[in-house]
Amino acid sequence: MSSEVLPQRRTNSRGEVKMPFGRWFREKGWRHLVAVAAIVFSIFPLLYVLSAALDPSGTMVGSNALFSNLSFGNFTELFENQERPFGKWFVNTLVIGLITSALTVFLGALAAYAFSRMRFKGRRIGLLSLLLLQMFPQILTVVAIFLLLNFLGDIIPAIGLGSGLGLIMVYLGGALGVNTYLMYGFFNTVPQSLDESARIDGASHVQVFFRIILPLVTPILAVVGLLSFIGISSEFVIASVVLTDPDSQTLAVGLYSYVSEQRSENWGVFAAGAVLAALPVMALFLFLQRYITSGLTAGGVKG
Amino acid sequence: MSGVSATGTLGTASSQSPAKKPKKRQAPDSVLGTLMKIVLLGIVDAIAVYVLIQLASKHEWLIFGISLAVTLLINWIYLRRGGLPAKYLAPGVFFLLIFQVFVMLYSTYIAFTNYGDGHNSSKEDAITAIQLAAQERVPNSPQYAATVLEKSGTLYLLVTEPDGKAKLGTTGEVLQEVTPSTKSSTGQATGVDGYRTLEFTDLLQNQQAVTAVKAPISDNPADGSLATSDGSTAYVFAPKLKYDAAADTFTDTTTGAVYSDNGKGAFASADGQQLSTGWKIDVGFANFQRAFTDPNLSGPLWQVTLWTFAFAFLSVLTTFALGLFLAIAFNRADLRGKRIYRVLMILPYAFPAFLSGLVWSGLLNPEFGFINNALLGGADIPWLTDPWLAKFSVLLVNLWLGYPYMFLVCTGALQSLPEEVDEAARMDGASAWRIFRSIKLPLLLVSVAPLLISSFAFNFNNFNVIYMLTGGGPRFDGTTYDIGATDILITMVYKVAFGGTGRDYGLASALAIIIFIIVAVISTISFNKTKALEEIN
């Protein structure tokens, strides 16, 4: 990396050849140094997890010698442990995450369409209430959620405590809110003349929504979907309260149980689980990075 | 990032224009649309009817009424002509009302009760539970020949009464007469179809489970129950505490102590001894009062509140400072390797947040961790166990987690700043630092202020990083609660509600209400300051 950091001879943008080193460093060189420092800070914990996952000793002490011994023992142990079914956690997380984020996007888009395209009584107050409600995170009401699901489980066992379906419904309580707000802003950027002309051609409001608006706002749908998937797959509090049985748990709850006691003993297996849990999310994130960045800044800059 | 400004301007332009359009005639739904509508509404109604029947059979009439009203409302919304906005808003609002608004109200209600371990049901249930829990063998009670059976993991007691009748029961299931499938030579029933009879070795292995089986003799818990200590003879066990319905008191049959309703949801004796099982009652502001006056709670609560603010504020400050610094450092079009730097730098943001805390807890582990052992050559720094170092560690880890986000945001904001101002200032001879401080930073703050506020709000309730890294510890001295130096309000609520040592839902909800109020005050102030709402018109 050092050849990348200190290239001795370069042409700068104005075409001046061989800038003196001092001046080059003041203008640009320090930026490379900063970059390298930031990258080391960023990735050394990640490299450490990877190394711990591959370390055959499986303990925390053993993992300190980075990448000195490599084996996949931790990974096989991860999948062989019957009491802590990692494979099931993975599937549960995927299922709950995918269903919830898909429905979140759909419910949010429906609401955003109404707010963006229709003028009705209570529209302003509706938007305001959404903004206010999202200030109060759901985890604050975790006790009430627990007791509510406990009660619902007596009536409909399928959505009681311990069921993924119940958890999904709880998460859907937050489907409107900041998501709708992001989408609403984006829906507004689609010119209204488009749906008006479709209307004149005889399209119903449903057709306008599905055939005209949704295809045009796909980027924001992808961003909201991805962000909510990432958020839900990391959600610990509500999931830990609702999903009590190891077979029904998600990665966040399950992997925490691995190290909640005896942190240093199970370290290698935990690290292996962490690597497997993180890789798909990180890959997806990097793949869709541009959209996420523009979604964040769009939401941010506009407030 | 050029799309950002375009999005912004387009957004405001079109949101201002429409409004005054004449009432348009809606095109009629297509056949497919109508069919879909019928199917979907049919499914919803089918589920609703099922729920209503269940509610009726459980005699939950209040909830039955509410559910019926909601079902009718949904049908009205989708079956009537017009009212289009409601059709689009209803599904999301339905979940919002139940799982966000209702649970908020319900939390408020719980905050005024003593709901929690030992106080989770009605008084009648508590009386039954007390009678069932405190059982002792009745002296000189008759003996029954007994056999232990097993069916799908549950142990059952099969007893033969002196007159030869066989009865089967288990904990929570009253003894019922059965016809045994096998009998021993003495006439003792030893087996029932569909149940497995436990052999002697099974009995030895499951001794504890066997002695724990208590089969009630009748529906009235005062009659006692049958239990066996050796798997072959059963005796009558009766409640040690006798309930006197007229006086509403319990009397201990061995000591003679009298326990009466103490008005706080429990039975207590004159000298203040309380029976462990109580019931749920309304306690008014007692939970709030406890939070502020109980020496076990009030001191820690203030410290936790203070730290919550400090944590949220310092997290925003540090992540923003580092993110902004890096954004400025990289904000040069001709910087080589910019893209690869950027991708590597935002990796912590892509790493699942709940894992980051756990991974860092390993890195910072004082005994075995990488930082002490490998980086610092075997140093013994108590990163997570010293109160101040633990606070520092939490901030450090949150910096690691949060600065990539601020970097992305600041990069976007910097690139949307106009170039001309910068150039004009440079012509006037301003230094780079002066340009940054007096021009760029104020302009930048205008656009990122709302984000900083929402980041503050997020960190205010940033459960994962605290709970996964330190678990709130190190614990405070002088309190019986599991509260520690790095606990923020939300982790405190979680531990009070679901922690290992006794669950106290009432207190936890009261603490949540206190957080609600704090959040509401902060939001009001910040809304007024930023006028974030101006855009809604």
CB contact, 8 Å: A65 with chain B? Answer: yes
Q: For position B325, what pLDDT does the model report?
A: 92
Is B136:B218 a contact under the CB 8 Å cutoff? no
The answer to whether A133 contacts B100, with C-beta atoms less than 8 Å apart, is: yes
Q: For position B95, what pLDDT does the model report?
A: 92
Span of B18-32, B471-485, B492-506 with lowest mean pLDDT: B18-32
Q: For position A95, what pLDDT does the model report?
A: 94
DSSP secondary structure letter of residue A158 = G
Q: How many CB atoms lie within 10 A of CB B68?
A: 15
Question: Encoding tokens for residue B345?
Answer: 């730098």
Mean pLDDT of A273-296: 81
B427-454 per-position pLDDT tens digit: 888 888 888 888 888 888 887 887 888 8
User: Is residue A19 pLDDT above 80, yes or no?
Assistant: no
User: Is residue B14 pLDDT above 80, yes or no?
Assistant: no
The answer to whether B409 contacts A191, with C-beta atoms less than 8 Å apart, is: no
CA–CA gap between residue A261 and residue A283 (Å, rounded): 30
CB contact, 8 Å: A274 with chain B? Answer: yes
- Protein fold of B123-278: Periplasmic binding protein-like II (2.40.430)
Closest-CA distance of chain A to residue B471, Å: 9
Q: If contacts are CB pairs under 8 Å, which of residues 142-161 in chain A contact chain B?
A: 142-148, 154-156
- Residue with the larger pLDDT of the pair B142 and B344: B344
Q: Which of A120-134, B90-104, B127-141 has the highest mean pLDDT?
A: B90-104
- Identify from A180, A217, A297 which residue to disrupt to test chain B contact, counting B C-beta atoms within 10 A and taking the largest count: A297
Give me the phi and psi of A72, to 5 degrees please: -105, 15
Is B384:A280 a contact under the CB 8 Å cutoff? no
DSSP secondary structure letter of residue B163 = T
Mean pLDDT of A59-76: 79
Closest chain A residue by Cα to residue B515: A140
The answer to whether B352 contacts A289, with C-beta atoms less than 8 Å apart, is: no
B215-274 per-position pLDDT tens digit: 888 887 777 788 887 777 888 877 777 777 777 777 777 777 777 777 777 777 777 777
Q: For position B15, what pLDDT does the model report?
A: 40
Of B29, B335, B530, the CB nearest to A303: B530
The answer to whether A156 contacts B15, with C-beta atoms less than 8 Å apart, is: no
Of A31, A146, A267, the CB nearest to B362: A267
The ipTM value here is 0.84
- Protein fold of A81-299: MetI-like fold (1.10.3720)
**Which residues from chain A sit within 8 angstroms of residue B510, using beta carbons?**
none
Of B99, B350, B457, the CB nearest to A173: B99
Closest chain B residue by Cα to residue A300: B451
Cα A94 to the center of its chain, rounded Å: 12
The answer to whether B334 contacts A59, with C-beta atoms less than 8 Å apart, is: no
Question: Encoding tokens for residue B437?
Answer: 């401080």
Q: For position B525, what pLDDT does the model report?
A: 82
The answer to whether B88 contacts A38, with C-beta atoms less than 8 Å apart, is: no
CB contact, 8 Å: A68 with chain B? Answer: no
The answer to whether B412 contacts A301, with C-beta atoms less than 8 Å apart, is: yes
Range B33-111: architecture per CATH:
Up-down Bundle (1.20)
What is the number of alpha carbons within 13 Å of residue A46 lying toward its C-beta? Answer: 22
Q: How many CB pairs under 8 A join A and B?
A: 345
CA–CA gap between residue A32 and residue A7 (Å, rounded): 10
A140-180 per-position pLDDT tens digit: 899 999 989 988 888 888 888 888 899 999 999 988 887 88
DSSP secondary structure letter of residue A143 = H
CA B407, B411, B413: angle at the middle one, nearest 5?
120
The answer to whether B55 contacts A155, with C-beta atoms less than 8 Å apart, is: yes
CA–CA gap between residue A270 and residue A264 (Å, rounded): 10
- The mean of the pLDDT values for chain B is 82
For residues B391-409, b (16+ Cβ closer than 10 Å) or e, as one string? Answer: bebbbbbbbbbbbbbbbbb
Cα B170 to the center of its chain, rounded Å: 34
Closest-CA distance of chain B to residue A200, Å: 9
Mean pLDDT of B176-183: 82
Element (H, E) at B102: none
CB contact, 8 Å: A38 with chain B? Answer: yes
Claim: this prediction has a pTM higher than 0.80: no
Closest chain B residue by Cα to residue A166: B99
**Where do the structural domains in chain B lie, given as residue ranges?**
33-111, 123-278, 291-535
User: Is residue B113 pLDDT above 50, yes or no?
Assistant: yes
User: Is residue A234 pLDDT above 70, yes or no?
Assistant: yes
**Where do the structural domains in chain A lie, given as residue ranges?**
21-71, 81-299
CB contact, 8 Å: A261 with chain B? Answer: no
Domain B291-535 CATH class label: mainly alpha
Closest-CA distance of chain A to residue B146, Å: 34
- Residue with the larger pLDDT of the pair A299 and A160: A160
DSSP secondary structure letter of residue B533 = G
How long is chain B? 537
**Whole-number percent of chain A with pLDDT over 70:** 89
Closest-CA distance of chain B to residue A172, Å: 6
The answer to whether A135 contacts B334, with C-beta atoms less than 8 Å apart, is: no
Q: For position A11, what pLDDT does the model report?
A: 54
Q: For position A15, what pLDDT does the model report?
A: 53
CB contact, 8 Å: A54 with chain B? Answer: no
- Identify from A26, A143, A208 which residue to disrupt to test chain B contact, counting B C-beta atoms within 10 A and taking the largest count: A143
Closest chain A residue by Cα to residue B512: A140
